[in-house]
DNA sequence: TTCCACTTTATAATGGTTCTAAATAGCTGT
DNA sequence: ACAGCTATTTAGAACCATTATAAAGTGGAA
């Protein structure tokens, strides 16, 4: 199985739970955005055994640290994650709290002219809030 | 007092607490970013009477709704607010969780080419994460 | 197989935020 | 100035996403 290698190469043991979460997160036609609650539901729908909520949190954080998931900065009581780890930007639909990927060509290059010394830029993220 | 008018014109009664919070938030040399905890501290430092935490939350939300404060989208367990309500972008220092204003001239105009029909753009916000 | 560090798990704890309902204080009309 | 009404404040409880705990289970090296 392809995910076993991926996990081993990251120093993460390929446990049953992690492999199942990999299936849900990465064995998909397209990338997607999710909150932990939504992921918990997806997992319940797709697998038969139970995975504890703590393991879901642990795994998501482990995957994020390894760079397999990204957190999206939005104002919400829940944390949003993205399986699309390429540099890209987002529409945020205030009505339903859903994120939509923006292609870089939809936004154009962003060139930050100001520098803060001793610091380097880790990421540049654009959030475009949508209303009716 | 200038804040009395401001509040009355917004349909908010100019209570002692609101006026004191106005002093802390708006009677300043420059704009600033804050969390509720930080604001609570600032209030404790600057005024003698106590203002309850509930009132601070209520007031911040009331001011935000009236457009006197903005929320900044960042990934944190606390909500960040800004007394600078002009359209502008931010550096986010991951080390200490502090925000720094970016001038629009530091970022350049952002032109979102894609449209979502039935929706209009409410805001465009750029967050530039900084690391060492 | 043995062993141990890593992982999972149920559950408790944490902490920012929101809710509740009773007390207080603006404001309008008299 | 006063009454009456509504908005506001407040202490404390409730909420709930997330993190911590610590005991049981598991992967994999030897
Ligand atoms: Mn979540
Ligand atoms: Mn806060
Ligand atoms: Zn995305
Ligand atoms: Zn700002």
Query: B58-111: per-residue pLDDT in tens?
Result: 999 999 999 999 999 999 999 999 999 999 999 999 999 999 999 999 998 899
d(CA A125, CA A130): 16
d(CA B37, CA B25): 14
**B67 and B10 in a common domain:** yes
Contact B129 A113 (CB under 8 A): no
**A66 and A96 in a common domain:** no
**B62 and B30 in a common domain:** yes
Tell me the average pLDDT across A13-22.
97
Number of domains present in the structure of chain B? 2
Contact B108 A111 (CB under 8 A): yes
**B94 and B47 in a common domain:** no
% of chain B exceeding 70 in pLDDT: 99
**B62 and B10 in a common domain:** yes
- pLDDT of residue B1 exceeding 70, the answer is no
Quote the domain boundaries for residue B119: 86-130
Tokens encoding B16: 């002692």
CA/C1' separation A116–C14 (Å): 35
pLDDT at B43: 97
Q: How far, rounded to the nearest angstrom, does the alpha carbon of residue B3 sit from its chain's CA centroid? A: 17
Q: B52 beta carbon < 7 A from strand D?
A: yes
Contact B90, B124 (CB under 8 A): no
d(CA B68, CA B84): 8
Nucleotides of C under 7 A from a protein CB: 6-11, 15-20, 25-27
Angle at B104 between CA B113 and CA B69, to 5 degrees: 100
DSSP chain B: -HHHHHHHHTT----HHHHHHHHHHHSSSS--EE-HHHHHHHHHHH-SS---HHHHHHHHHHHHHHTSSEEE--SSSS-EEES--SS-EEEEETTTTEEEEE-HHHH---------TT-EEEEEEEEEEEE-
**B42 and B6 in a common domain:** yes
**A65 and A10 in a common domain:** yes
- pLDDT of residue A74 exceeding 90, the answer is yes
Tokens encoding B88: 């502008």
**A114 and A62 in a common domain:** no
**A52 and A17 in a common domain:** yes
**B63 and B7 in a common domain:** yes
**A37 and A15 in a common domain:** yes
CA/C1' separation A55–D21 (Å): 14
For residue A26, give the CATH number of its domain.
1.10.10.10
Return the ligand number nearest the Cα of A33: 3
A78 within domain boundaries: no
**B23 and B45 in a common domain:** yes
CA dihedral for B42, B43, B48, B52, sign (positive or negative): negative
């Amino acid at each position: 199985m392809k995910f076993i290698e991926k996990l081993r190469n990251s120093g993460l043991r390929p446990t049953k739970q992690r492999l199942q979460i990999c299936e849900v997160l990465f064995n998909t036609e397209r990338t997607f955005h999710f909150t932990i609650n939504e992921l918990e539901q997806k997992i319940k729908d797709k697998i038969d055994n139970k995975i504890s909520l703590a393991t879901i949190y642990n795994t998501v954080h482990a995957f994020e640290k390894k760079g397999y998931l990204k957190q999206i900065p939005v104002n919400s009581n829940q944390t949003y994650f993205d399986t699309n780890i390429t540099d890209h930007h987002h529409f945020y639909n205030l009505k339903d709290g859903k994120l939509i990927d923006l292609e870089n060509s939809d936004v154009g290059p962003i060139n930050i002219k100001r520098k803060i010394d001793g610091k380097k830029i880790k990421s540049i993220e654009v959030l475009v809030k949508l209303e009716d």
